Chains A and B, each alone.
Chain A
Amino acid sequence: MWDYTEEVMEHYRNPRNVGKIDDATAIGEAGSLSCGDALKLYLKIDENNIVTDAKFQTFGCGSAVASSSILTEMIIGKHIDEVKKVTNKDIADRLGGLPPEKMHCSVMGHEALENALSHYFGEETAESKKDKMVCTCFSVTESQILNAVKENGLKTVEEVTNYTKAGGGCGHCKGDIQEILDKYYNKRPQVEKSQMTHTQKILKINNIIENQISPELRKDGGDIEFIDLDGNKILVKLSGSCSGCKNATLTLKSFVETTLREHFDENAEVVEV
């Protein structure tokens, strides 16, 4: 059972401004049926740039409907300049907060609003701009991830998944999301492996082990610790149920080494110490 606030429950039980505006000035869409949630937002904007009416249609869970419903209440009667400033965080805050795993519902509301405003100003929408697709399962682009990171101060891949759904399907893009985060927080261009300093390499290996390898091993009661880097040899120590496990060598070669080769250096060799 989700720990929904009273506001969230009130809004999915009695959603406000449901429906379609036939002569809408702007329409914004976000999400898709196959992804599990979709939102259509209709705006009526007058000649003074005031949002005089807003309506929505949502396919989604309780928090998706609540986010859409509260959003319409937040923008009706407001000037476009004010409406532009609404963030996904504002939507979640007005609902008294959303469970972390449901924050993507507020992001979807915000995206539909942005797309509606782009439509109104005759701009290209985020989707039609040339933008790198990061998560193919849920069609999440690099700029969508960056926006969520900037607006909400996201620090981890898991947080990015909670806010944008990226990485929540097959999980293949988790490495790319990590890179987007690294790039954003280091604020420096990605260095080629050959140009990386020893410290940078160590940081990178540590990152891969902490975020991609260790969580998998922990599921089986084991763990791994990064000890040192010696040439292309990555020295690690296995602990928990991995240490002394007969299958540890297999795990090291078939999982740890493969992952590090894929994300760090194709010549990497993993050695247990």
Chain B
Amino acid sequence: MDNKIIYLDNNATTKIDDKVLEVMMPYLKENYSNPSSIYSFGGITAKAIAVAREQVRDFVGANSSKEIIFTASGSESANTAIRGVLEADKTKKHIITTQVEHPCVLSLYKTLEKQGYQVDYIEVNSNGELDLEALEKAICEETALVSCMWANNETGVIFPIKKISKLIKSKNKDTKLFVDAVQSAGKIPMDVEDCGIDLLSISGHKFHAPKGVGALYVKAGTMFSPLIVGGHQERGKRAGTENVAYIVGLGKAAELAKESLGYEATTVKYLRDKLESSILKSVFNARLNTAVTNRVPNTTNIGFEYVEGELILLHLSDFGICASSGSACTSGSLEPSHVLKAMGIPFTALHGSIRFSLSRFTTEQEIDSVISVMPIIIDKLTKISPFQDELAQLRAHKT
């Protein structure tokens, strides 16, 4: 493989920031004590975790660091939050979520449906925006939980969490709001207190911490039952000896992510917009698959009509460019992206959808390379397509 990688798949995972790795190293080497131990050597790791907990508290805007639980992943955080709330009060069997949630959450709801829960899946419009009226109507006395992502992983569309929280609490103050913030963390400011969030999940490797560590915010006073039982760690809410080095890394990554929010909103957004507008201008069969505004600054999703997504990715890969696709073929499943389908993206573009997701490490030079390569690839691939008449019409329409 070419050494020069242009990595535009940061919604899938990110590189570990050197500064994060640096603070982790002592806890992988000399500071190996168990934080639960009584001797002062144990105190070193216990203190390091306390620092990380404070950094994450500050990152999500919680009142107290006691409200932060460290986990092994975003999926674990989400599973813990959802099952934790439902287990704590088994009398309520109604859940509301959206059609475009991450599969880790959706497959849990499919399982819960089989176990007797009623789940409403709220629709989105063609811009990927949530139908808030339908959400409001769905809330009832029986509603235990509303589960909603903050930003969508495929389109980057941001859901109005504060508004949603107000809607929920005005109709049923006992209904809990769980927010999957895996894709918003490090991209837009988060304030769980201000937004009225009861539970919130984040995943370290989406904001330059390593894979294998995540966190869950549980608002003080929330009735909650742990998923992993055994030890007293995390105040009894998540058993298991703490993954010290990774927790330290998560804390540092949270601090750095908060510091760079301004950079995300300006430079990263500028680069994303440049990439997006240039491709839409230079490639005749390109269409934007997402809302123009109301998005996290790093994500764009572009559909190339009558060309298949995996084939585009393979050709991008030959130029060292990493992106991802909502096409069926890339995932091994035969169905295209459930998010783009829910948005009603026309099937001519559905299979040729490419997501580019940037990070604070993305350079303008990299973006310029993609901009120059994209028309060449699409020109080559449209020539293979059997839909020449349709493509000719599109081309005529564009010019």
A binds B: yes
Residue from A12, A59, A137, A247 with most neighbouring chain B CB atoms (10 Å):
A59
**Contact across chains for A247 and B115 when beta carbons are under 8 A apart:** yes
Which listed residue, B311, B332, B388, touches A60 by the CB 8 Å rule?
A: B311
**Contact across chains for A36 and B116 when beta carbons are under 8 A apart:** no
Interface residues on B, range: 20 to 34
Q: Does chain B have a CB within 8 A of A254?
A: yes
Which listed residue, A12, A29, A36, A58, touches B351 by the CB 8 Å rule?
A: A36
Please report which residues of chain A, range 1-44, place their CB below 8 angstroms from some CB of chain B when the two chains form the complex.
Answer: 9, 12-13, 15, 18-20, 29, 33-34, 36-40
A-B contact pairs, 27 of them (CB 8 A): A9-B314, A13-B315, A13-B318, A18-B384, A20-B388, A33-B347, A34-B347, A36-B327, A36-B351, A57-B384, A59-B307, A60-B311, A60-B329, A61-B308, A61-B310, A62-B310, A64-B308, A64-B329, A101-B332, A161-B334, A168-B335, A169-B334, A219-B107, A219-B111, A220-B111, A254-B114, A254-B116
Q: Which 9 A-B pairs have the closest CB atoms?
A: A168-B334, A57-B386, A61-B329, A61-B310, A247-B115, A40-B386, A34-B347, A250-B116, A36-B351
Contacts of A64 in B (CB 8 A): 308, 311, 329
Q: Does chain A have a CB within 8 A of B387?
A: yes
Q: Does chain A have a CB within 8 A of B372?
A: no
Q: Does chain B have a CB within 8 A of A165?
A: yes
A113 to chain B, nearest CB (A): 15
Give B113's nearest chain A residue, CB to CB.
A254
Q: Does chain A have a CB within 8 A of B348?
A: yes
**Contact across chains for B386 and A38 when beta carbons are under 8 A apart:** yes
**Contact across chains for A168 and B329 when beta carbons are under 8 A apart:** no
Instruction: From known contacts A13-B318, A168-B335, infer whether A251 and B114 are also in contact, taking CB-CB under 8 Å.
Output: yes
**Contact across chains for B385 and A59 when beta carbons are under 8 A apart:** yes
B315 to chain A, nearest CB (A): 8
**Contact across chains for B311 and A33 when beta carbons are under 8 A apart:** no
Contacts of B307 in A (CB 8 A): 59
Q: Does chain A have a CB within 8 A of B328?
A: yes
Q: Mark B162-180, 1 if CB is under 8 A from A, else 0.
A: 0000000000000000000
Q: Mark B59-100, 1 if CB is under 8 A from A, else 0.
A: 000000000000000000000000000000000000000000
Q: What is the interface of chain B, defined by CB distance below 8 A to chain A?
A: 107, 111, 114-116, 306-311, 314-315, 318, 327-330, 332-336, 347-348, 351, 383-388
Give A105's nearest chain B residue, CB to CB.
B329
| Alpha-carbon distance A9/B314, docked complex (angstroms) | 9
B156 to chain A, nearest CB (A): 24
**Contact across chains for A33 and B116 when beta carbons are under 8 A apart:** no
Q: How many residues of A contact B (CB 8 A)?
A: 39
B311 to chain A, nearest CB (A): 6
**Contact across chains for B333 and A168 when beta carbons are under 8 A apart:** yes
Please report which residues of chain A, range 108-157, place their CB below 8 angstroms from some CB of chain B when the two chains form the complex.
Answer: 137-138
**Contact across chains for A12 and B314 when beta carbons are under 8 A apart:** yes
Which listed residue, B114, B116, B384, B388, touches A15 by the CB 8 Å rule?
A: B384
B225 to chain A, nearest CB (A): 12
**Contact across chains for B386 and A36 when beta carbons are under 8 A apart:** no
Contacts of B111 in A (CB 8 A): 219-220
**Contact across chains for A57 and B388 when beta carbons are under 8 A apart:** yes
A12 to chain B, nearest CB (A): 6
Residue from A12, A36, A57, A137 with most neighbouring chain B CB atoms (10 Å):
A36
Give A167's nearest chain B residue, CB to CB.
B334
**Contact across chains for B383 and A12 when beta carbons are under 8 A apart:** no
Contacts of A220 in B (CB 8 A): 111
Contacts of B306 in A (CB 8 A): 33, 59
| Alpha-carbon distance A196/B315, docked complex (angstroms) | 55
Q: Does chain B have a CB within 8 A of A184?
A: no
| Alpha-carbon distance A239/B350, docked complex (angstroms) | 41
Contacts of A169 in B (CB 8 A): 334-335
Contacts of B311 in A (CB 8 A): 12, 60-62, 64-65
**Contact across chains for B115 and A36 when beta carbons are under 8 A apart:** no
| Alpha-carbon distance A218/B208, docked complex (angstroms) | 33
Please report which residues of chain A, range 239-262, place their CB below 8 angstroms from some CB of chain B when the two chains form the complex.
Answer: 247, 250-251, 254-255
| Alpha-carbon distance A227/B311, docked complex (angstroms) | 48
B154 to chain A, nearest CB (A): 17
Give A38's nearest chain B residue, CB to CB.
B386
**Contact across chains for B308 and A36 when beta carbons are under 8 A apart:** yes
| Alpha-carbon distance A57/B386, docked complex (angstroms) | 5
Residue from A13, A58, A61, A219 with most neighbouring chain B CB atoms (10 Å):
A61
**Contact across chains for B116 and A18 when beta carbons are under 8 A apart:** no
Contacts of B330 in A (CB 8 A): 61
Give B351's nearest chain A residue, CB to CB.
A36
Give B331's nearest chain A residue, CB to CB.
A101
| Alpha-carbon distance A137/B347, docked complex (angstroms) | 13
Besides the known contacts A33-B306, A36-B351, A59-B385, 16 further A-B residue pairs in the complex with CB atoms under 8 A apart: A12-B314, A19-B383, A33-B347, A33-B348, A33-B351, A34-B347, A58-B384, A60-B311, A61-B327, A64-B329, A65-B384, A165-B334, A168-B333, A216-B114, A251-B114, A254-B114
A165 to chain B, nearest CB (A): 5
Contacts of A29 in B (CB 8 A): 386
**Contact across chains for B336 and A36 when beta carbons are under 8 A apart:** yes
Give B114's nearest chain A residue, CB to CB.
A255
Residue from B327, B332, B336 with most neighbouring chain A CB atoms (10 Å):
B332
Q: Mark A155-198, 1 if CB is under 8 A from B, else 0.
A: 00000010001001100000000000000000000000000000
| Alpha-carbon distance A239/B127, docked complex (angstroms) | 45
Contacts of B387 in A (CB 8 A): 33, 38, 59
| Alpha-carbon distance A247/B90, docked complex (angstroms) | 11
Contacts of B114 in A (CB 8 A): 216, 250-251, 254-255
